[in-house]
Amino acid sequence: MAGQLAALCGQILVVGLAGTELSASERQALESGARGGVVFFRRNVPQGPEGARAVAALARQVRDAAPADAPPLVAIDQEGGRVVRIGPPALALPPMRRIGDLGDVDFAARLAEAQARELAALGITMSFAPVADIHTRAENPIIGDRAFSDTPEGVAAFAGAWARGLLRGGVLSCLKHFPGHGDTTVDSHLALPRVERSREDLERIEIAPFRALARDPAVASMMTAHVVYPALDPGPATLSRAVCTDLIRGALGFEGVLFSDDLEMKAIQLPVGEAAVLAVAAGCDALLICSREDLADEAHGALVREAEASAAFRARCEEARERVLRMRRRVPPKPVDASSLDGVFDASRSITQELASRLDTGRPS
C-alpha cells in the first residue's frame, strides 16, 4: 500500500530541476512515479546556440526516466516578452499586450502554433500560457504587459486563440491565473495580494475570460492565483474549495486539469507540505514546486501521510491523478533528433518576419 500511495501522490507533483541534466535523485523520483512531471526554467537552459539542443536532451532524459504508461509532463513558461526561458534560435515574441494590440486573433493563433511546433520538437508538452488576467491596474508589478488586453472581451478572444494555436502546434495550454491576478498591487512571489472587488465585479471582470473559455476543448488546464478575494473566500484562492471546486468545477463547468501556482512562493504562508494537502483538498489536480527538491519531497511525504489517514483524501488524489494522466497521455514528449532542430527553427522565419513587419507598422492585418 505504501508504494502504491507514493506513486499515486507523486503523479500530482510537477517540479523544477536543478540543472541541465537529471541528477540521480531526480531520475529515481521519475522512475518510481514519485514525480508526475517537470517544469523548465532558465537554469535548465544553457546560454548560447547549443541551448535548444540541451533542452531537447534534457526532455529526452525526463521522458526516458518516467514509466512508459505514464508519460511525464514537460512544461515551461515561454510566454514572450519578459517571461521567456529559451532564447535564440527559438521564436522571439514580444509581450502579449503588443500582440493583443495588433487586433488580429487569427495571427495570434498562428504565432502560438509556430511557437508550439518549436517547443514540441524540443520535447516540451505544455506551455504555461496564455495569461488570461486582465490589465486593469497600472501599478500591478507582476501582470502588466503580460495581459493581452485591459478588457475581459479582448483577453478572452486572444487567450482562446493562443490556446487553440498551441494545441494545433502540439502543445498543451494553461490559462492563468484563476480567478484573476490583474488587479493586484503585490507580486505573489513576494507576499499575499488581495483583490477587494465585489462578487458581482469579479464575475464581470476577472472571472469573465475564464468563464468564456472554460469549456473550450483547446484549454487543457488552468492555474490558480495565490491571491485572496474576500468576496469569494477569506484565504488564498489556491487553498480554497469555494474557488477550486465550487466555482471552477461547479459554476464554470471546467473539466480540465487545475494546477496550483508554485507552492514555494511567499504568498503561501504555510509549510509546503501543509499547503500541498490543502491545495489538493481544495480541488487542485497538480501541484507546482519549482525550485527545491527537498520541498518537493516534503510535499510528497505530506500527501502520502494524508492519503494513508483519510479515504476521502485518497479518493481526491485518485481523481486528480486520473485527470492529470488523461491530459499527459494526449501529448507525450517527442523530442526530435538534434540534427532536425535547425529545420524546425528555420520554419519559423517567415512568421518572425511577418511579426516584425506588423509590430513596426502597428497594423492589425
Question: Is the pLDDT at 189 greater than 90, yes or no?
Answer: no
The pLDDT value recorded for residue 3 is 80
- Residue 147 CB-half CA count within 13 A: 27
The pLDDT value recorded for residue 1 is 56
Question: Is the pLDDT at 254 greater than 60, yes or no?
Answer: yes
Q: What's the burial of 276, exposed, middle or buried (CB within 10 Å: 0-12/13-18/19+)? A: buried
Residue matched to cell numbers 485527470: 323
The pLDDT value recorded for residue 363 is 60
The pLDDT value recorded for residue 128 is 98
- Of the candidates 56, 171, 151, the one whose C-alpha atom is nearest the C-alpha of residue 111 is 171
User: How many domains does one find in the chain?
Assistant: 1
Report the chain's mean pLDDT, rounded to a whole number: 95
The DSSP code sequence of 231-290 is TT-SSBGGG-HIIIIIIIIIIS---SEEE---TTSTTS-S-HHHHHHHHHHHT-SBEEE-
From 64, 101, 189, 246, the catalytic residue:
189
Domain of 312, CATH number, reads 3.20.20.300
E runs forming strands in 10-150? 13-16, 37-40, 73-76, 126-127
pTM of the model: 0.96
- Of the candidates 183, 127, 132, the one whose C-alpha atom is nearest the C-alpha of residue 156 is 132
What is the mean pLDDT of the segment spanning 58-65?
Answer: 98
- Of the candidates 194, 74, 174, the one whose C-alpha atom is nearest the C-alpha of residue 129 is 174
The pLDDT value recorded for residue 365 is 45
Domain extent for 344: 2-361
24's torsion region: left (phi>0), alpha (psi -120 to 50) or beta?
alpha
What is the mean pLDDT of the segment spanning 286-292?
Answer: 97
Structure confidence at residue 183 as a pLDDT band (50, 70, 90): confident
331 DSSP 8-state letter:
S
From 183, 261, 262, 297, the catalytic residue:
261
| Residues of the chain above pLDDT 70, percent | 98
Q: Under a CB-based contact definition with an 8 Å cutoff, are residues 122 and 62 in contact?
A: no
Q: Can 145 be counted among the known catalytic residues?
A: no
What is the mean pLDDT of the segment spanning 248-264?
Answer: 98
- 162 Cβ contact partners less than 8 Å away, ≥ 6 residues apart: 96, 108, 109, 112, 129, 130, 148, 173
Q: Under a CB-based contact definition with an 8 Å cutoff, are residues 284 and 259 in contact?
A: yes
Question: Is the pLDDT at 281 greater than 50, yes or no?
Answer: yes
The DSSP code sequence of 27-43 is HHHHHHTS--EEEE-GG
Question: Is the pLDDT at 2 greater than 70, yes or no?
Answer: no
What is the mean pLDDT of the segment spanning 4-11?
Answer: 96
- Of the candidates 308, 246, 304, the one whose C-alpha atom is nearest the C-alpha of residue 276 is 304
- Give the separation between CA 319 and CA 347, rounded to whole angstroms: 40
Provide the edge-to-edge strand list for the sheet that holds 257-259.
Answer: 174-178, 221-224, 257-259
Question: Is the pLDDT at 356 greater than 50, yes or no?
Answer: yes
Question: Is the pLDDT at 256 greater than 70, yes or no?
Answer: yes
More confident residue, 97 or 188: 97
| Residues of the chain above pLDDT 90, percent | 89
What is the mean pLDDT of the segment spanning 225-241?
Answer: 97
Structure confidence at residue 29 as a pLDDT band (50, 70, 90): very high
Residue matched to cell numbers 518510481: 32
Q: Can 226 be counted among the known catalytic residues?
A: no
* Largest Cα span, the chain: 63
